Structure 1
Amino acid sequence: MPVLCMFYGIIVRMYKEIGGKHNMPHIHVEYSGQEAVIALDGTVLEGKLPKAQMKLVDAWMEIHKDDLAANWTLLSNGEQFFRIDPLK
């Protein structure tokens, strides 16, 4: 699964899911063995992260919402994704 970004121990991934169980654009986030699937609108679809890390992911998603949408489109069309800058 392509890694879009890593920051503060958080790994963010996105991949093409033809016929997957989540029917909306989303990312997969992992932190210290915990995982969450988060829609690009910020809705947690599955799993959970510690509160502090979730706030960091929310902030990162807000800053990079256009990049996330562009990557979703690229991957959906079978094209190469691009990395997104980490939260600083």
Structure 2
Amino acid sequence: MPVISRFLGIVIMMYYHDHNPPHFHAKYGDYEIIVSLEGKVMDGKFPKRAL
């Protein structure tokens, strides 16, 4: 999965031709979330300080 950005220990990734709606994946340590481009968390959990 291509890495779009890395900052403060968070890695932002986006798949090419992934399912709709458009979204990105983020990892922070052992946490993973999927976030829509509108900013809504679609799946997963992150610690509050990382959101």
Calculate the TM-score normalised by the size of structure 2: 0.91
Higher RCO (C-alpha 8 Å, min separation 6)? 1
Q: Which residue of 1 aligns with 2:45?
A: 48
Q: CA deviation at 1:12?
A: 0.3
Secondary structure of the corresponding residue to residue 24 of structure 2: strand
1:48 and 1:28 map into 2 onto residues whose CA distance is 11
Structure-1 residue corresponding to 2:29:
32
AA aligned opposite 2:3: V
RMSD: 0.8
% identity of equivalent residues: 42
Based on CA coordinates, which of the two structures has the bigger radius of gyration?
1
SS of equivalent residue, structure 2 residue 49: helix
Could you tell me the TM-score, scaled by structure 1's length?
0.55
5+ residue gaps, structure 1, are 55-88
SS in structure 2 at match of 1:29: strand
Which 4+ residue blocks in structure 1 deviate beyond 4 angstroms?
Answer: none
